[in-house]
Structure 1
Amino acid sequence: MIHQTSAVTAARRSRGGRISSLDLLRGVAILGTFGTNVFLFAHPGGPAGFFQDFVGTATGFAEHVEIGLRVLSNGKFLALLTILFGVGLELQYQSARRRGVSWPGRYPLRAGILFLEGVAHYLLIFEGDVLMAYGLTSLLVAYLVGRSERVTRTVVMVVGGAYATLILAVTAMMVSRPDVSDEPIPVGPAATASWPAQFSVRLNEFLMLRAEIILIVPSAVVLFLLGSRLRRAGVFDDTARGGRLRARLLVLGFAVGLPLNVLTGFSGPDWLLVDRYLLPPLVALGLLALVTHLTLRMRDRPGAVRSGLIAVGRTALSCYVLQNLLAGILCYGWGFGLAERFADARPWWIVGLWGFVGLVNVAFAVAWLRHFDRGPLELLMHRLYAPRRTGTTR
């Protein structure tokens, strides 16, 4: 009995007492999120050019393949990452309770640091930053995570219901509107030819380029709280209750969410909001259940693939920024300009780009963790957030 219990514990936890399924899930979510962002980097006109072309209609085989690839990743791994952020918030709340520390205590400082890191990431690297939205959301949810089940359930139902209604209403308007025949002015390689020019555009068009936060934050509030409650419900535990919960999430994610998401993904740009924000969280819940179930069944020592994903998960913040920085250097005109050079090879070369950047991320994470217990940005956040120690001991 003791041997069986220790085996279960070993399967659930990685070095340092961390829940290994969480680290593995974060690694999957980080690399999967880049599977969405890579299409923005790989367009010759950068993100602006991508979204302009996105409203067009696919005509050739390669374009249909690209849509299929985007359907595989669009929104699903970002939703998974968002749910996991809520799980992490719950773990910090429970840790504070065990230590007898008031909550949220200094957590708003942590949320503020994350927001500022997001601002820097947005201005210096990538228009599609999600850290700013996470910083704002975590500040809000920190005051909700310790409330009663009734309060959190009410917040989820009200915010989630209003959000879904808004998305469906806007989608209905887009579907029913007449087609617009005016051709937009093309966005070409000049948009990414200069890093200072990109920085200037991001700074001057801050409100417009960050408008997505309006869509991300309400959804993230729901998914943060959902992640918190799933942790309490035992979704990561190797128990009968956890198994039943994971089975329900598998059905919800892959029997309900995935077919609907594939349908909307191939239904044209009018369904963008449903395709990116409404259905992917269902698929993300299925992914969470699947990876967790497989992790609990794997009692042996992690192989190279699983170890690499776990390493990325333990350095998630650093790897998220690193993969976007690498993609910018490789794709943009001020870097190697691969997006323009391989414009005629879409989407085939994009798969190779995703694989290459992912391997670099894994190699970096594995090498870094041989010397440190956190990623570089995680260490920076920890040093800024951790309370200053005095000479007095408790």
Structure 2
Amino acid sequence: MSGPSNPTDLTIAPRDAGAAQARPPAAGVRALAPDLARGTMLLLIALAHAHMYLYGHETLFRGYRTDGGTVDRVVAGLQVLLVDGRALPMFAALLGYGMVRLADRHAATGADWPQVRGLLRRRSRWLIAFGFVHALLLFFGDILAAYGLLGLVLVGMLRARDRTLLLVAGLWTLVFAAISVLPPLAMIENGPAPLPTAVESPLAAILPRVGTWAGLTPMLALDVVTPMLLGIWAARRRLLDEPGRHRRLLTRVAAGGIGIAVLGGAPLALIDAQVWTDWSAGTAVPAYVLHSVTGIGAGIGYAALAGLLAHRLGNAPGLGNAPGLGGAPGPVVSALAACGQRSLTCYLLQSVAFVAVFSPWAGGLGGRLGDAAASAVALGVWLGTVLLAESMRRAGRRGPAEVLLRRLSYRQTPLASAGAPARR
């Protein structure tokens, strides 16, 4: 194994001998696969969050109501199988991937490791701040702060050897499995915790919402350490930047990861869909743990699948991509990628829409709709953000949340005036 001989060497992400040499992309060039993955996976985020706004009903392990009809139960089972605990790891993998690509771009401009590390830490701190404001105003289940916390604590892993990355990822998976025992035990013992989305007054909802967020954020961060480390490993090999060179590996990861997640998620999906009704603590707790751990497979599998699709669909004017990936994709892919480029803005807009539709002090539908109807609302909200992102792309406008995060992250830093790469 090879590693950095000096912590201030310009090589931001050391590689094993024989691994593909990093070639930082030119300024303004974007790989299609990560944007396509983010844009598509925002649908899963919307589906995973929408039913959390429902209230006035008893729920099971993943928050789906127990008094729903047949369609509600089918939707609950499918979402537990394919959505819940699956999109979060994929975004964590893309977080690790993106940190490496950002570090490489700045290293190519002449920045040293302390400068790049400072930028990444500053960006992570601002993500935590964004998450706090998100929870304060809108949604207790914010994921931005968890990703910011990960970036802040684990930025040093960008310099770790491959062997160290994989070893820590494997060991942490065991830790994660042990931690995953706690939520189902607590739910069986005390019942599901009441969610702050049911509070009647917008002012009265603030404290319970922020309190729930403060306890949930560290748990979410602990959940996705492994996929983030695997994302760092993947970025060193440019798996999503050059998917054509890695089709065989991406195919195996996509099939294996998603397949493992489906098999591992099936027991809990049957419980939450109320097909398996004679479960006990001795069967439900292992089912919950298995669902949680195999969600890592779905996360990296979905990201790999996005890489394969990007290779097939090719490059589109204005989107940017690694060269040699074929012809231009159609308008659907362009819109999905535009949504992925503006994923922070679109993610926050989802919460704005859900509060307006579901909250008892706004639209009030959270007390009247079932899980299937909530998922239909989620689909509509996601489609709306995709259309908005595409209109912004055509107008040549970036997402306002992305612009703000960039300005805050680069404020009072030499990188702001030392060749920071242009972004569309």
Report the TM-score when normalising by structure 2. Answer: 0.76
Partner of 1:24: 36
* 1:75-90 equivalent positions in 2, closer than 5 A: 75-90=85-100
Instruction: Identify the residue that residue 11 of structure 2 maps to in structure 1.
Output: none
Other-structure match for 2:389: 365
The 3 A distance-change label for structure 1 pair 150 and 338 is: same
Q: Which residue of 2 aligns with 1:107?
A: 120
Q: Secondary structure at the match of 2:265?
A: helix
Q: Deviations over 1:317-366 (max 9, x none)?
A: 111111111111011121111223x43xx233223202220121112212
Residue 91 (structure 2) pairs with residue 69 (structure 1):
no
Residue 178 of structure 2 is matched in structure 1 by 165
Contact preservation (8 Å) 2:139, 2:351? yes
Displacement of 1:284 after TM fit? 2.0
DSSP 3-state at the match of 1:266: helix
Instruction: Give the alignment partner of residue 380 of structure 1, picking from 404, 407, 415.
Output: 404
Of the three residues 104, 129, 134, the one matched with 1:116 is: 129
Cα deviation, residue 270, structure 1: 4.0
Structure 1: where are the runs of 5+ without partners? 1-12
Cα distance, 1:263–1:184 mapped onto 2, change above 3 Å = closer
Greater Cα shift, 120-129 or 354-363: 354-363
1:199 aligns with one of 183, 200, 206: 206
Q: Which amino acid aligns with 1:306?
A: V
**Residues 184, 143 of structure 1: CA spacing in aligned structure 2 closer, same or farther, 3 A cutoff?**
closer
1:227-271 CA-to-partner distances (Å, cap 9, x unmatched) read 011122342255675122112202322332212212332235645
Distance 2:192 2:296 in 1: 32
Which residue among 247, 250, 256 is the counterpart of 1:246? Answer: 250
- What are the equivalent positions in structure 2 for 1:168-247 lying under 5 Å apart? 169-170=181-182, 174=185, 191-203=198-210, 206=211, 208-236=212-240, 238=242, 242-247=246-251
Q: Matched residues, percent identical? A: 25
Could you tell me how far 1:378 is from its partner in structure 2?
A: 0.6
Structure 1 residue 200, shift from structure 2 partner:
3.0
**RMSD of aligned residue pairs (Cα, Å):** 3.4
Q: 1:348 to 1:217 in 2, by over 3 A?
A: closer
| Paired residue type of 1:284 | G
Is 1:155 the counterpart of 2:155 in the alignment?
A: no
Q: 1:94 aligns with which of 104, 109, 114?
A: 104
Cα deviation digits, residues 167-192 of structure 1 (max 9, x gap): 3x548x849x9x76x88898899x34
Secondary structure at the residue paired with 2:204?
helix
How far, CA to CA, are the matches of 1:120 and 1:188 in structure 2?
A: 16
Q: 1:250 to 1:21 in 2, by over 3 A?
A: same
The count of residues paired between Structure 1 and Structure 2 equals 367
In structure 2, distance between residues paired with 1:217 and 1:66: 27
Counterpart amino acid of 1:195? P
For the 8 Å contact 1:265–1:271, the answer to whether it is kept is no
Output the CA distance in 1 between the equivalents of 2:125 and 2:399: 19
> Which residue of structure 1 lines up, in the alignment, with residue 281 of structure 2?
none
Q: CA deviation at 1:96?
A: 2.5
The equivalent of 2:140 in structure 1 is 127
Is the Cα contact below 8 Å between 2:196 and 2:208 reproduced in 1? no
Cα deviation for residue 135 of structure 1 reads 0.9
1:112 corresponds to which letter in structure 2? R
Gaps of 5+ in 2: 1-24, 273-283, 314-325, 420-424
| TM-score, scaled to structure 1 | 0.82
Q: Evaluate the alpha carbon distance shift between residue 74 and residue 131 of structure 1 in structure 2; reply closer, same or farther with a 3 A threshold.
A: same
For residues 34-53 of structure 1, the C-alpha deviation after alignment (integer angstroms, 9 at most, x for no partner) is 11001112x134xx976799
8 Å Cα contact 2:90-2:303 kept in structure 1: yes
**Aligned mates of 2:228, 2:192 — CA distance in 1:** 38
Which is richer in helix? 1
Alignment deviations for residues 38-85 of structure 1 (CA, whole Å, 9 cap, x no partner): 1112x134xx97679948757852442132232231111121111111
CA contact (8 A) 2:127 2:144 kept: yes
| Structure 1 equivalent of residue 289 of structure 2 | 274
